[in-house]
Amino acid sequence: MMQAFRQETGGLIDRARPVAFSFDGRRLQGYQGDTLASALLANGVRLVGRSFKYHRPRGILSAGPEEPNALVELREGAAREPNTRATVAELFDGLSARSQNRFPSLRHDVLSINGALAPIFAAGFYYKTFMWPAAFWERVYEPLIRRAAGLGRASGLPDPDRYGKQTAFADVLVIGAGPAGLSAALAAAGQGGRVVLAEQDSALGGRLLSDRRSIDGRPALAWLAEAEARLRAAGVRILTRTTITGVFDGGTYAGVERVADHLAAPGTLPRQRLWRVVARRAVLATGAIERPIVFGGNDLPGVMLAGAVRSYVNRFAVRPGARAAVFANNDDGAGTIADLVQAGMEVVALVDPRPQTPPALRAVAASHGVPVFEQSTVRQAVGGTALSSIVLGGKADGVRLSCDLLAMSGGWNPAVHLASHHGGRPVWHDALAAFVPGQMPPGMRAAGAAAGHVSTGGALRTGSEAGGGKESAVPSTGPESDAVTPFWQVVNPTGKAFVDFQNDVTSADVALAAREGFTNVEHLKRYTTLGMATDQGKTSNVTGLAMMAALTGRTIAQTGTTVFRPPYTPVAIGAMGGTHRGARYRPTRRTPAHDWAASQGAPFTEAGEWLRATHFPKVGETMQQSIDREVRTVRQAAGFCDVSTLGKIDVQGPHAGAFLDFVYANTISSLAPGRARYALMLREDGFAFDDGTVARLSDTHFVATTTTGNASRVLQHLDFCRQMLKPDLDVCVEPVTDQWAQFALAGPHARSVLEQLVGAGSDVGGRSLPFMAVAQAAVCGVPARIFRISFSGELAYEIAVGASHGAALARALQSAGAAPYGLEALNVLRLEKGHPVAAELNGQTTAADLGLGRMLSRKKDFIGRALSERAALQDADRPALVGLRPRAGGTLQAGAHLVPAGAPARIEHDHGHVTSAAYSATLGCWIGLGLLAGGQRRIGEVFRAVNPLQKMETEVDIVPPVFHDPAGAALHG
Amino acid sequence: MEEFVYAGDATLSRPGSNAELSAWVDYVYFRDNPAGPHSELWYHAAACRQFLKVERDTRTHVISSAELA
Ligand SMILES: [Zn+2]
């Protein structure tokens, strides 16, 4: 029979719109307006999941985001989402949900044997049980525990959904749209400011949707409809399905809007939207979360929070059972009884642990024929996979009552979480028997149940005040009793009594922690894992704290408090990433000739923010064949390579030379106009920072290059030096990387290629443009800079033209007979010449380590000079740059460690490592660079390059780092 | 990339070229870590590239002043 536990009338569901869904493959039906939890209850499904450690049967405890038990996997395939709370998942047509953490099936879970193994899962079990032997931890214990204790499974596939981000500015942000939040928003809207009202539920109203109340003499729902209409008319931005998850600096609030989670398919909508709300003031109207009571078997399906029972009965028109009992330490019991009876359920008992049950409450119970058990408790809930009876304790000790629903209430915990996101600790309030917000984030005020005012009247009044309204404008409400006497746990419960349902922490665990001295709240939490599950202890933290207070004879205030950090509820990483994923993770920079390189069939690789062509394969060539050909072309003819990614910085002004002398380790000011120089920059700590070339175009105009990866760091460093250290120098620093396309043209035929591109009037011969000279000339008819510099060791030029001419220059170079080469060949060429790159300029090497010690000027102050001279950096045993040549045709890998030949590959014999390695087509063998203790002193020795991870090793000869043309004859060609 | 980049303690001053090694070590490595008001430099990286001197309370993150450094 369909929806056997649905009431025939009433509720806020739409009976005209049935919704089909499935749970563990069972096809069921609910209505539009249901949550998955309410629809399951309407179908009599009470067993929803298995618990974390003990695999105990669990049902539905709450009707909100605090739910610790009813966690399910939603949707299928890549969209599958584990650990979703059934209590907040809205039902949609075709929804598919599965229980989790059960094996092989929900009803017959063989791992519930863990209940019998309970002693090893007790508090601190991680620390005590599996200490020895260490190797067993990884291989045996951890997989075993992971299998036995766990939650849902991630899909393991890329998230198929889209996410958005949006920012809103407000004078007032109202968080929560129960009576307090609505009242605050109405008051704030009356002041004329911009108001944003965020509500986590799909509808406004909060408890007004679940409790039968009257406002201004009318049903509260009528007042609610009118309030919503007034807010919309006043232009209040109403965000439903939006949870404010964090409070950040400067009145910034993060929120997650579940835009399409209630739809079968998002269509063109983002699945969720991350809101950034910047608000002058905020009203915390987040309500309160009901406390469970700790007694034996309190986790059985059928034991529910009383407020949740009223939600299911009133809002969702469900009968969560047939025979109910109520166990409460407060006067909400009256409303619970009335609602259950009205819904046609039998109520067998009101169990009240307080010394005195108020006469008014007794009268309500009597009017419905419900027996009241005063000064009594529920010692044990009994049942298999669902509640079948309860056993009382206290005055009515031993009484056994048959029932399938127990509505429990231990009072309410104000939802103060957001109030402590700036570090303010909640404060214990004795009269309210609750933690209320302490020091609030700037601009925030609490109202309603979040501030401890749990009655509807109190919520309306304090909400209006917090929104800036006048008390006279607050509507009237009927009388309500919010009397509560703290009651946390039943002493000597029968069976396991749970404090933290999600992490399976029992009263015995808390007692054990107390006996073993973990009485500090933070220790209690970590030792027992109380409050550390995905629900972050929303239903357990305060109870655990109160129990520890009782165990140690302290008051709750003396015992401590608990603070909360963002996010309030779990946030999908996808929502935080928004559209910034995959190729959109960060901007991609393409060189001006990118499309030309792509048209040549070049593959690209990421180099910092850039995409660079790796090689230019001809038809039928492997990558290695292509690289080898490109290297040989440069050594034997002419090749060209796009080097536009190098950082280019223009430095101009009368003091430009003095400034560059300060930022570079070698002297720059002595450079003649029309000349360039290799330049090395240190950090202030004396280590090498970056290198490049500096060219002097005129007396007052220099252009410097940086490595591709350091361009923005070097720019910030130069800005710092100019503004903060040398403000008196008349110099201007500007990045011009994007303005220029630059190509290296290298090889013995480079000059004849270049001669075809420059006009007849320009002489690029060796006499007028010698090595390290710079010329400004027309290339292909456009203004260009020609630098006679070489990274490859060949006769070479770097030609820079305006960025928009980059592709044309590439085509011209190709037509003039040069062949393109990519990043891989560039790397081989520099390796053959022993030039350090980022792998060697790794932040831990000094100029001396790199064989560049003589570049450091002795005649001037410069960044890094003082600390480069300290004794530790002069140590002759420091790892320094050497060349590595495998013996017997071996290969070499960067990252391999260098161990003396004959010594075992252990850390005490580690003398350094391989920083770069590649196959050299020029030499016909693998070559590498490395950082080796003692550096070039070790030339002639034999080492083993060992890579234990990949089980590779090669014998290498230590050689000078320059493999090809050490005399540099080719440069001057 | 963030628009503003933190750039360290604003109260440091670079030692003169003849300073003792200990002065350099202080300048490069040692930082106060006050719980309270702190003068710090921020770099307007994604815009004008100016360094700003910002007074910020490290406990509350409240910025009481910001001026060109
Ligand atoms: Zn700026």
Distance from CA of A415 to the nearest CA of B (A): 23
Q: Residue A257 pairs with which residues in a beta bridge?
A: A242, A273
Distance from CA of A437 to the nearest CA of B (A): 17
Give the mean model confidence (pLDDT) for residues A227-236.
97
A292-360+373-410 is classed CATH 3.50.50.60: yes
Of B7, B24, B45, the CB nearest to A867: B24
CA angle A62, A64, A66 (to 5 degrees): 75
Pick the residue of A439, A714, A724 with the most B CBs within 10 A to test the interface with B by mutation.
A724
> Residues of A with CB below 8 A from B45's CB?
712, 716
What residues does each domain of chain A span? 1-114+138-158, 163-289+415-473, 292-360+373-410, 488-554, 594-645+739-829, 647-735, 868-972
Any idea which residue has 């609490």 for tokens? A446
On the CB side of A927, CA atoms within 13 Å amount to 23
* Tens of pLDDT, residues A687-740: 999 999 999 999 999 999 999 999 999 999 999 999 999 999 999 999 999 999
* Tens of pLDDT, residues A9-60: 999 999 999 999 999 999 999 999 999 999 999 999 999 988 888 889 999 9
- pLDDT for position A885: 97
Give the mean model confidence (pLDDT) for residues A177-185.
97
Binary contact (B25, A867; C-beta < 8 A): yes
Cα of B48 vs centre of ligand 1, distance in Å, is 4
* Tens of pLDDT, residues A637-661: 999 999 999 999 999 999 999 999 9
Give the mean model confidence (pLDDT) for residues A833-845.
95
Judged by a CB distance cut-off of 8 A, whether residue A867 touches chain B is yes
CA distance A223 to A456: 12
A488-554 is classed CATH 1.10.10.1100: yes
> Residues of A with CB below 8 A from B51's CB?
719-720, 723-724
Distance from CA of A927 to the nearest CA of B (A): 37
Could you tell me the pLDDT band of residue A122, with boundaries at 50, 70 and 90?
Answer: low
Q: What three-state secondary structure class fits A226?
A: helix
Compute and round to an integer the Cα radius of gyration of chain B: 14
Task: Give the A:B interface size as CB pairs under 8 Å.
Answer: 45
Cα of B53 vs centre of ligand 1, distance in Å, is 12
Q: Which helix (H) or strand (E) element contains residue B38?
A: strand B37-44
pTM: 0.85
φ and ψ at A337, to 5 degrees? -60, -50
The residue among A122 and A527 whose pLDDT is bigger is A527
Q: What three-state secondary structure class fits A111?
A: helix
- pLDDT for position A154: 80
CATH classification of the domain holding B11: 3.30.2270.10
CA distance A165 to A255: 10
Q: Is residue A140 predicted with pLDDT exceeding 70? A: no
Supply the DSSP symbol for A137: I
CATH number of A163-289+415-473: 3.50.50.60
Give the mean model confidence (pLDDT) for residues A93-117.
75
> Residues of B with CB below 8 A from A728's CB?
none
Could you tell me the pLDDT band of residue A355, with boundaries at 50, 70 and 90?
Answer: very high
Binary contact (B21, A866; C-beta < 8 A): yes
Binary contact (A442, B45; C-beta < 8 A): no
Could you tell me the pLDDT band of residue A112, with boundaries at 50, 70 and 90?
Answer: low
CA distance A459 to A455: 6
Q: What three-state secondary structure class fits A542?
A: helix
CA distance A309 to A494: 24
Residues 428-447 of A with CB under 8 A from B: 442
A868-972 adopts what CATH topology?
A: Elongation Factor Tu (Ef-tu); domain 3 (2.40.30)
Domains A292-360+373-410 and A647-735 in one fold: no
CATH number of A647-735: 3.30.70.1400
CA distance A866 to A858: 11
Instruction: Quote the crossing angle between the two packed helices A541-552 and A521-528, to the nearest 10°.
Output: 110
Which residue range forms the structural domain that includes residue B47? 4-68
Cα of B6 vs centre of ligand 1, distance in Å, is 13
The ipTM value here is 0.98
Give the mean model confidence (pLDDT) for residues A134-153.
59
A1-114+138-158 adopts what CATH topology?
A: Ubiquitin-like (UB roll) (3.10.20)
CATH of A594-645+739-829, one of 3.30.1360.200, 3.30.1360.120, 3.10.20.30, 3.40.50.1110: 3.30.1360.120
Residues 7-66 of B with CB under 8 A from A: 7, 14-15, 17, 19, 21, 24-25, 27-29, 41, 43, 45, 49-51, 59-62
Nearest by Cα to A466 from A281, A245, A286 = A281
Could you tell me the pLDDT band of residue A1, with boundaries at 50, 70 and 90?
Answer: very low
DSSP A591-606: -TTHHHHHHTT--EEE
Q: Is residue A937 predicted with pLDDT exceeding 90? A: yes
CA distance A604 to A706: 21
On the CB side of A532, CA atoms within 13 Å amount to 12
Distance from CA of B34 to the nearest CA of A (A): 17
Give the mean model confidence (pLDDT) for residues A121-134.
58
Q: How far is CA A647 from the centre of its chain?
A: 32
Answer for the pair A287, A450: CB distance below 8 angstroms, yes or no: yes
Q: Which residue of B has its CA nearest to A717?
A: B7
Query: How many domains, chain B?
Result: 1
Cα of A297 vs centre of ligand 1, distance in Å, is 63
